[in-house]
Structure 1
Amino acid sequence: MSRWSASSSARRGTQAQSLAWSSDGGYTWTKHQGNPVLDRNSAEFRDPKVFRYNGPPGSYWVMVAVEAKEHKVVIYSSDNLREWHYLSSFGPANATGGVWECPDLFPLPLDGDEEQTKWLLTVNLNPGGPNGGSDGQYFVGHFDGVAFTSETTVTDGSSQTAELDACHWLDWGRDYYAAVSFNNAPDGRRLMVGWMNNWQYGAAIPTWPWRSSMSLVREMSLVTDRGQPRLSQRVADEYRKGNSLSVNTWSDFPIDEGIHHLDGGAPVEIIEVTFSPGSAEEFGLIIRGKGTDGTRIGIRPSNNRLIMDRTRSGNMEFHDAFASTDTAPLEPASDGSYTLTLFIDRCSVEVFAQNGRVTMTGLIFPEPDSARLSLYARGGTATAPCLKVTRLAEPPVRIAGPLVLSR
């Protein structure tokens, strides 16, 4: 430990990658005596993700990490996890309004066809998200074992004012950051989880005795959408198993102008709904409602936008940046309809629109008894051909973050 401490003191102000291993399932760890194993003499070299690559160049370990302020993902290889060799770098590209962090690189078959496998490079950004603060973006392309080449780059990243709607976002909400996937998940699934918070207000959210939690685990797939490869996300099926108290369904529910309260409602539930636009300028759901409070999840068909309005979501006074109306581009299905699935927890909502083509995650802090569910329309009418509400017995199991945040 003295050698480790001396080395740490000598390296103050820089970041490097080190190696440790566990022989008891992660309860205790042994640090490699030759640490650090990779040093770029940089103050912003962090967040390694390591996986085993097998391809035409050979079989070896690959590390993706970031030079955060340079908006660059750096790629290295190793045969033994101790000696690392530089392969290539990617970036700047697309959104560069803040530092790049927490990269990931993995393959996904396009439309389930293993012969059409592509690679996804994800990288998280803080600040500079499409609705402010922290967020994550992704690129689709090819990895040949040495370099990643993107098919979906829309800007070279030279400007921090890129058209954010044109970038590909892991999530359009305020509260999905530092998302990284699991390697070697059962059944070949690519599962990803993110930190459900935002560095704008992460140290101020009103929770106790914990602060921050992780999102629900998502299963990732790659689909063709309007001729282009796009990420599709769904909550892992395990969350639906053996957890429901009741299920209510409605068919062809007319939504006249105004707010229409539904029977029931619970702090923890899954809502699945399809909307057919009528004459309304905006329509959607109000969740976790009480009195005039509630969080609006709506659609504006005139400009094809999904909306999360938490300006009346409950406790918002803890930080000036929290109350917000966030939006995302959302194209209708071929029949003009919009389909949403909402996973609502006691202080969060995760929205999956159009079969997970667009997702939006937000923290909310309503009163404990704020459980009313409503449909609404503004400036006209709409219809909900299908509405299903599943009340859950207990909140989904989550991992809680630390009480004190530091960077």
Structure 2
Amino acid sequence: MITKNRIQQAEEALQQTKESMNERFRLGYHIMAPANWINDPNGLVQYKGEYHVFYQHHPYDENWGPMHWGHVKSKDLVHWEHLPIALAPGDVCDSDGCFSGSAVDNDGELTLIYTGHHYTDKKNDVFYQNQNIAVSTDGVTFEKVGENPVIVAPPEDSTHHFRDPKVWKHEDTWYMILGNQSIEEQSGRVILYKSSDLRKWEYIGVLAQSDGSHGFMWECPDFFEMDGKYVLMLSPQGMEADGDNYNNLFQTGYFVGDYQYETNLFQHGSFIELDHGHDFYAVQTFLDDKGRRIAIGWMDMWEADMPTKKDGWCGALTLPRELKLTSDNKVLMNPVEELTLLRELEHDVCADKSISGTHLVEEKGDLLEINVEFDLNLTSASSVGVKLRGAKEEETILTYDIKEQKLILDCSKSGKKEDSVRRVSLQSDSKLSLQVFIDRSSIEVFANEGQKTMTSRIYPTEERAGIEIFAEGGEALVADCTYWNLKDIWK
């Protein structure tokens, strides 16, 4: 009853904020909370034929605070419905927060596995963490189990950083990985447990650990098999920037390798950054009934400027993306095919047309999908790209430097005055394809069928003037340019 009262209070606080919320930057087709703060996606799962996504949520404030679990569901990964808050902190097992975790369908019982957060000295950020579960038979109302915490404390060679459980089943056994920090090296690692019933867990050991160059803590780990290989995704804290790589405060990336359950031996290659925009963190994945590995990340970044806080809300999740593994062990991310359901008006701008300078299409819409393909074999220009023009000075520029073979996203005139440019190497010899999703305050770029992605929040204040396709330093052949106005799923 206490938990239900806390959830009811949180829902009432959300409703109160929602009534006064400024909607200028509210997204049209992304997952957001009804109001106030969200960060990490949690508990991505398909349950009784519907997709469920939970998220870290502070329903009382637009800033981070005591974490609850917000909740949405969908039948098609496109049209989302807000459900009541699933978890509220304040019990003995999670006194100061229900931190990130995962969800599994345990023979019809939807089980959430999450980290309980407890401050012993909040002013100095001194805390301890444990692992808990909550269960539901309707997918809406959850009860924390009496056995909580199901894992009381981390292993002895660990610091107090011990969070973000990801749970899956292999054969007849449940496995759990956790983000952790070794006490000796003070470096990030992922540790492994196993269980027969989700209640009693046995510690197995370290699955993977930083070699000293991958940060002081690994958050939000995920581990899964793809095409005979194993992928470990994680979000390292404390990696140093290296040229065009690792330019955000914290990173998200992956290792690919071979794994043996019998020995807990994961032999892997080097760490690869997953997205090269400004705002992508804490990605989580799940396997759906079509056999697809689908990923969703937090579409913001710690310590970034977040203008929507003034409006009574903060934070959003990325579009769902299907993952595929290439023969050389690179992960590709592309929008799930269901996102074509968002398309309304289609506009064929040009096909097989040579341009020099700019080609402007007047378009005032702020929910758009743009698909452009350049034929680089018939291009003499030094760079090509797409520009989103504001009515006066604002613009978001996506440029491909053909000589340097780099994709460049410049948001300096779209609400990111500092730290505004991101670059990523992209080999593109014969063609360049760009699939770009624009929402009111976000841009997501998928280049060459997901070889590279760039995700950033933008905050334009001017009315949009149009879409500009450009070629600099010569001519470029635009093989195709089509765009769609997209529907607002929340209206």
TM more than 0.5: yes
Contact kept, 8 Å, 2:362 with 2:465, in 1: the verdict is: no
Shift of 1:357: 1.3
Which residue matches 1:284? 385
Shift of 1:292: 2.9
Letter in 2 for 1:328: V
Which residue matches 2:256? 140
Alignment partner of 2:298 out of 182, 195, 200: 195
Contact kept, 8 Å, 2:293 with 2:322, in 1: the verdict is: yes
Shift of 1:38: 4.2
Contact kept, 8 Å, 1:126 with 1:199, in 2: the verdict is: no
Q: Does 1:355 align with 2:449?
A: yes
Contact kept, 8 Å, 1:282 with 1:298, in 2: the verdict is: yes
Structure 1, unpaired ranges of 5+: 110-116, 154-166, 399-407
Alignment partner of 1:180 out of 284, 298, 319: 284
Which residue matches 1:114? none
Alignment partner of 1:247 out of 331, 336, 347: 347
Distance (whole Å) between structure 1 residues aligned to residue 384 and residue 367 of structure 2: 22
Distance (whole Å) between structure 1 residues aligned to residue 361 and residue 466 of structure 2: 7
Contact kept, 8 Å, 2:187 with 2:216, in 1: the verdict is: no
Assess, with a 3 A threshold, how the Cα gap between structure 1 residues 194 and 106 changes in structure 2: closer, same or farther: same
Which residue matches 1:113? none
- Output aligned runs, 1:85-124, within 5 Å: 85-89=202-206, 90-93=208-211, 96-97=214-215, 99-109=217-227, 117-124=228-235
Aligned residue for 2:409, secondary structure, equals strand
Letter in 2 for 1:99: M
Aligned-pair identity in percent equals 27
Letter in 1 for 2:431: S
Deviations 1:341-386 (A, max 9, x none): 1111111111111110111101111126225100123333322111
Distance (whole Å) between structure 1 residues aligned to residue 222 and residue 94 of structure 2: 29
Assess, with a 3 A threshold, how the Cα gap between structure 1 residues 397 and 180 changes in structure 2: closer, same or farther: farther
Which residue matches 1:125? 236
Assess, with a 3 A threshold, how the Cα gap between structure 1 residues 95 and 294 changes in structure 2: closer, same or farther: farther
Assess, with a 3 A threshold, how the Cα gap between structure 1 residues 35 and 181 changes in structure 2: closer, same or farther: same
Structure 2, unpaired ranges of 5+: 3-89, 97-117, 121-126, 240-244
Contact kept, 8 Å, 1:265 with 1:373, in 2: the verdict is: no
Distance (whole Å) between structure 2 residues aligned to residue 354 and residue 397 of structure 1: 30
Deviations 1:169-225 (A, max 9, x none): 221111111000124x1211111100000103165555623211100011111122x
Assess, with a 3 A threshold, how the Cα gap between structure 1 residues 249 and 372 changes in structure 2: closer, same or farther: closer
Distance (whole Å) between structure 2 residues aligned to residue 169 and residue 204 of structure 1: 27
Alignment partner of 2:401 out of 300, 322, 330: 300
Shift of 1:235: 0.8
Which residue matches 1:236? 336
Shift of 1:264: 3.0
Alignment partner of 1:365 out of 430, 434, 459: 459
Which residue matches 1:46? 163
Contact kept, 8 Å, 2:364 with 2:463, in 1: the verdict is: no
Aligned residue for 2:225, secondary structure, equals strand
Assess, with a 3 A threshold, how the Cα gap between structure 1 residues 279 and 92 changes in structure 2: closer, same or farther: same
Contact kept, 8 Å, 2:349 with 2:361, in 1: the verdict is: no
Letter in 2 for 1:188: G
Deviations 1:225-267 (A, max 9, x none): xxx121111111221126312332411232313x331243521
Assess, with a 3 A threshold, how the Cα gap between structure 1 residues 95 and 174 changes in structure 2: closer, same or farther: farther
Q: Does 1:382 align with 2:382?
A: no
Letter in 1 for 2:348: N
Q: Does 1:264 align with 2:378?
A: no
Alignment partner of 2:318 out of 212, 215, 221: 215
Shift of 1:272: 1.0
Which residue matches 2:373? 274
Shift of 1:30: 2.2
Aligned residue for 2:314, secondary structure, equals coil
Which residue matches 2:197? 80
Q: Does 1:332 align with 2:432?
A: no
Assess, with a 3 A threshold, how the Cα gap between structure 1 residues 342 and 397 changes in structure 2: closer, same or farther: farther
Assess, with a 3 A threshold, how the Cα gap between structure 1 residues 387 and 6 changes in structure 2: closer, same or farther: closer
Shift of 1:397: 6.2
Alignment partner of 1:25 out of 132, 136, 139: 139
Q: State the TM-score, normalizing by the size of structure 1.
A: 0.81
Assess, with a 3 A threshold, how the Cα gap between structure 1 residues 309 and 80 changes in structure 2: closer, same or farther: same
Distance (whole Å) between structure 2 residues aligned to residue 97 and residue 80 of structure 1: 33
Distance (whole Å) between structure 2 residues aligned to residue 6 and residue 219 of structure 1: 35
Which residue matches 2:187? 70
Shift of 1:11: 7.6
Letter in 2 for 1:187: K
Distance (whole Å) between structure 1 residues aligned to residue 410 and residue 333 of structure 2: 22
Contact kept, 8 Å, 1:134 with 1:200, in 2: the verdict is: no
Contact kept, 8 Å, 1:297 with 1:308, in 2: the verdict is: yes
Assess, with a 3 A threshold, how the Cα gap between structure 1 residues 346 and 86 changes in structure 2: closer, same or farther: same
Distance (whole Å) between structure 1 residues aligned to residue 278 and residue 456 of structure 2: 6
Contact kept, 8 Å, 2:147 with 2:199, in 1: the verdict is: no
Distance (whole Å) between structure 2 residues aligned to residue 100 and residue 397 of structure 1: 34
Distance (whole Å) between structure 1 residues aligned to residue 416 and residue 345 of structure 2: 30
Which structure's residues are more often strand, by fraction? 2
Aligned residue for 1:256, secondary structure, equals strand
Which residue matches 2:105? none
Contact kept, 8 Å, 2:248 with 2:301, in 1: the verdict is: no
Which residue matches 2:174? 61
Assess, with a 3 A threshold, how the Cα gap between structure 1 residues 195 and 366 changes in structure 2: closer, same or farther: same
Contact kept, 8 Å, 1:141 with 1:148, in 2: the verdict is: no
